[in-house]
Structure formats: C-alpha cells, structure tokens
A and B are shown apart, each in its own frame.
Chain A
C-alpha cells in the first residue's frame, strides 16, 4: 500500500516504505550472507538504490514482494560474483613476486602515477573513482555532487577501475 502511495508521489509514504524495505532487505540478505554484517548493510543500501532507480519496472497490479525479492536476489548474485573476482585478484597480488617491492615504492610516486592514469580516463569514470575510492564519499553522495545517476556512478567506478588495471598492465 505504501508503495502505491509512493508511486503516486507521496514523499512521506515513500520514506516509510523505504524504512520498512530496509529492514526487510537486511533480514533477506542477512539470511544469505551470514557472518558478514558489513556486506549485508552495504548490499541492503545497494538494493534500496536499485529499487528506487528501477521502481518504474514494478507493475502495480502485481504483488510487491516477488518484485523486491527478484531485485534483491539479482543484486546478491552480482555481489557474490564481484567478490569472487575481487578475491581472485587479491590472491594474484599476494602471489606476485614483486608484491613487496611495490609496497615499498615511494608513496609520492604512486600518487603521481595514479593522478596521471586517472587523467586518461573519461570524466564519467574519473569523477566517480575520485569521489568514491579516493575521497571516500558514498555512491549516493557522489551522485548528488556530480549530478550523475547512482547506477552511472557505479558503472563508472567499475569500468574505470577495469580501465586503470588495463593501463597498469600495459605499462608493465
């Protein structure tokens, strides 16, 4: 019911709906990511954003819960897939023989190198990485600072990091 009022443009109903939804998502995701409370909260936020950005794909004639669960399940699978990649990537770094050499590299050099590489990225990737990964803003804050949509911010980070990794790879 709240969702219907919210779809009609009632901000207070929408806020109440999102609060209830957050609690529901925490339970739903918590059951599936046991022992990882940090990830649960992050993922619940990601799902809230997804529900917000994709709320036009909810058909008001259909029940709401399956729609929410389909989105949460999708984001959960995406999260698990991404983390698997991240774990593999960090294993690679640990195994690399020059990992220690890189670590003792002059921090000033690293910052200069990073700035040079970032400058080669298009703005839609550079800004999200700058704000989220370097300045530590959240995705939502970055979206409001840059005027980009939240999914554009996330895509920008994802593609930008990939592009950075490729640039580092080609230099070595």
Chain B
C-alpha cells in the first residue's frame, strides 16, 4: 500500500473527535478503581472503630489532606504521561513539596518527644502491615488506570508505569486512611510513602510490557 492510498483510507475514517472523551474515560476508570479499593477496604479491613473521635482530631485531617493531595497530583501526572508531549515533570516538585512538608511535621513531632518515645512514633502499632495493605489496595486502582492508559499514547513507557503506580498507590493510601488507626506524622511520612512507592516501582517495571503501542 502506498502512502497516498493509506492517507485516502485514513481520511475516510476521520470522523469528529470528542476532545473530552479521553478525560472522561480516565476519570471514570479512576472512579471505578477507587470504588473497588473502597469496597475491598470496607469488607476486608473495615473503617476504624473510633472514626467519630478520630475525625475530631486535626491530625486525622492533616493525614487525609496529605494522601488526598498526593492522589490528585499522581492522577494528573499519570494522565499527562499518557498524552504525548505533555510534560508531567512540573508535578514532581509539587509531590516532593507535599512529602517534604509531612517530613517537616514529622521532624517537629520527633524533636518534641523524649528519646524513648521516638521509635513508637515512627513504628506505631501497624508498621509491618501498613505498606503492604496500601500496595494491595492499589491493585484494583492500578488495573483501572492501566486500562485507561492503554487507550492513551504514553511515549515514555517506564515513566508511564511509574506514574500509574504512584497514582494508584496514593489513591489506595487515601482509601486506607479510613481504616488505619495511626495518626503520628513520622508514621505517615514513612510507611504511607513506602506503601505508595511499592506500586510505583512495580509500575515502572511493568511499564514497557503493559503500555507499548
């Protein structure tokens, strides 16, 4: 087939393009992923028992704002990676700033407490399970984001995998925060971040295989 014939064939299949469809599909996929993760969390883990009391504490909302901003930044970054020539790199400093702020709060909390109380602040009661549960909850979100990403056009596949992994990890952390009994900033700054980084790393490894087109 010559190039002219190809152009003729493609021109006939042109048709109008709905510019918002790609955004809608991505947001819908993200919504399905979050719903699935929330369902799994509610059924297998359950929301924390002292939810009303916890919601009265400022740190609960600080934690929620922390993971919510990471989830939003991650979702925007992953979307941009799927659109050729849209630079997601401007989002990296924002993510670093959010995590950095949590570390400053954590450092202040550690500095205020006596030496023998510091390790408990970092480890809490659930450090062995927290990152794994976040990583586990990220699986349905990752599947949904990957489904949408495959219909887009990522040109840097490893970055696309990492961004999809980060977005699903941060979203899973947001869902997990409703179950998690921990409120100390050193704990959140360590184990939540680790929980988000696990799917990020796995996503980077899978990117070339999943998103090639």
Contact = CB atoms under 8 A, between A and B. Distances in A.
Interface string B139-152: 00000000000001
Contact of B84 (A8, A49, A71): A71
Q: Which of B8, B10, B82 has the most CB of A within 10 A?
A: B10
A78 B156 CA distance: 11
Interface residues of A, number: 40
Interface in B1-41: 1, 3, 5-19, 21-22
B85 A67 contact: yes
A14 B8 CA distance: 10
B155 interface: yes
A78 B212 contact: yes
Interface in A33-58: 41, 44-45, 48-50, 52, 54-58
Given A48-B6, A151-B213, A9 B16 contact: yes
A19 interface: yes
A48 B3 contact: yes
What's the interface size class on B, roughly? 20 to 34
Contacts of A7: 16-17, 19
B153 interface: yes
B186 to A, nearest CB: 41
A74 B11 contact: no
B164 to A, nearest CB: 15
Interface in B54-88: 82-86
A60 interface: yes
Contacts of A124: none
Interface centre among B5, B86, B153 (most CB of A within 10 A): B153
B155 A59 contact: no
Contacts of A52: 10, 13
B21 A56 contact: yes
Nearest to B157: A74
Nearest to A18: B7
Nearest to A14: B14
Which of A19, A57, A74, A144 has the most B CB atoms < 10 Å from its CB? A57
Contacts of B85: 62, 66-67, 69-70
A70 B155 contact: yes
A45 B4 CA distance: 10
A15 interface: yes
Contacts of A12: 11
A44 B3 contact: yes
Contact of B9 (A60, A67, A140): A140
A60 B8 CA distance: 23
Given A6-B14, A56-B22, 12 more contacts: A7-B17, A9-B15, A12-B11, A18-B10, A22-B3, A48-B6, A52-B13, A54-B84, A57-B82, A70-B84, A138-B6, A140-B1
